[in-house]
Structure 1
Amino acid sequence: MTQLLTSLHDEQGQLTTDMADEAWIARFDQLADRGYVIIPDFLPSDEVTALYRYTQSLEENDWSLAGVGREHNHTVNTRVRSDHIRWLQPAIAAEAVYLNTMDELRVRLNRRLFMGLFDYECHLARYQAGAFYQKHLDAFKGRSNRVLTTVFYLNPEWSADDGGELVIYGSRGQVLETILPQQNTLVVFLSEVFVHEVKTAHRERFSITGWFRHNTSNAARIDPQT
């Protein structure tokens, strides 16, 4: 498949990406029709390779054990999930490249589907051998500002024997998709609709999980991250 993004460099030499509207129209329609979409070859190969190498270069103290829930309901429960995460920050050049790409996608989604997406938050996820994430929803109706979940895979040469699949379930509990975490694949789905899980990984697995959000700030409270 032709890559959906083309690489550019800005005046400072920082790698950026530019999306061609025509390449995304069918993908937008698929997301609108069924609530999720799987996009192979999301980034130029050199960009995804750079992200993977950057992730591998991180030190142990750059990662935190992932928790469940948000704000005052946030807890760590390794019986539910056992991955480690690192929130991406725009001040770090290697992380800003991906954040800029996803902000451009946010603009395109709003233009095509009128979704009113306000911002995007995401983290690197590291699943060591034996790590998993049990069935869950990323958002509950009326209780979260998360609208769309995105998962982007970084590992090259991932096989079925390596595990770590993302399973997306339908409203009756039926399996809709079992997605092997192959490098440069982006999965996007409605956060309030689809129960999903990450099967046990049998070797170290890296991905970027994120959420496009609505703005629920008010005069007394700033919209939280995480």
Structure 2
Amino acid sequence: MTNRFDVLIDSYLDNNVGVDNDFLNEELSNGLHENILQLQKDDLMTAAGIGNNEVKDANQKMRGDKIYWMDKSHDNIYEQEFLLHIENFIDRLNSTCYTGINGYEFHYAVYEEGSFYKRHKDQFKNDSDRKYSLINYLNNNWLEEDGGQLLVYHNETAQKIQPQSQTAVFFKSDEMEHEVIKANRSRMSITGWLKRM
């Protein structure tokens, strides 16, 4: 029996990078986009760091995005719906791929015009809890000339993914190097990690 999450899971199994252009419904994607606009208006987005508390890149030469961590305690209707969607996805992933995922963390992310994130992997060298990366895009009518595409490297071949609203991208955090090329307009997403702790 097919499941709404199987597009993302099956494309990951086929290619090491899952892509689903309809992972989020339009209403949820637009609601989360509005959340980011409000967070920016309230000056709550902060510059993202490199590494965890033990290993940090103080000079911030790798990345230029701003973030705000999600939390159920925020009691935001779209945030709650998104996190429930993620929990349902994890249930399907665990039941079909036996991944043993038992935690997650997600944040809003904004790449303002001129921002980028150089080639990297998502798993910390001193913390292996992050098993899978899951990115959800919130940008309507994104054009090629807007930049900000995600490049995911299969050895030296790069798969280019447009950061179009409703699209999700899924891959192993410790395996797939990736980068965000320079954005030519404000680029919004929710980025997070599925964890085994």
> Do the two structures share a fold, i.e. TM-score over 0.5?
yes
* Counterparts of residues 60-209 of structure 1 (less than 5 Å): 60-92=42-74, 93=76, 94-139=78-123, 143-171=127-155, 173-175=156-158, 177-209=159-191
Task: Give the equivalent residue in structure 1 for 2:29.
Answer: 48
Runs in 1 of length 4+ with deviation above 6 angstroms?
Answer: none
Unaligned 5+ residue runs, structure 1? 1-19, 216-226
Does the aligned pair in 2 maintain the 1:63–1:84 contact within 8 Å?
yes
Tell me the TM-score normalized by structure 2: 0.91
Q: Which runs of 5+ in 2 are unaligned?
A: none
What is the rounded CA distance, in whole Å, between the counterparts of 2:125 and 2:35 in structure 1? Answer: 36
Deviations 1:82-130 (A, max 9, x none): 1100000111223222111111111110001000001110111011000
Number of residues of Structure 1 aligned to a counterpart in Structure 2: 194
How much has 1:81 moved relative to structure 2? 0.3
* % same residue: 32
State the Cα distance separating 1:157 from its structure 2 match. Answer: 1.0
Q: Distance in 1 between matches of 2:172 and 2:133?
A: 6
Q: Which amino acid aligns with 2:191?
A: T
* RMSD of aligned alpha carbons: 1.8
Cα deviation code 1:133-159 (max 9, x no counterpart) = 000000167842111101111011111
- Whose RCO is larger (CA < 8 A, sep 6+)? 2
Aligned to 2:188, what secondary structure does the other structure show? strand
SS in 2 for 1:184: coil
Deviates more, 1:77-86 or 1:190-199: 77-86
The amino acid across from 1:206 in the alignment is M
Give TM-score scaled by structure 1 length: 0.80
Higher-Rg member (1/2): 1
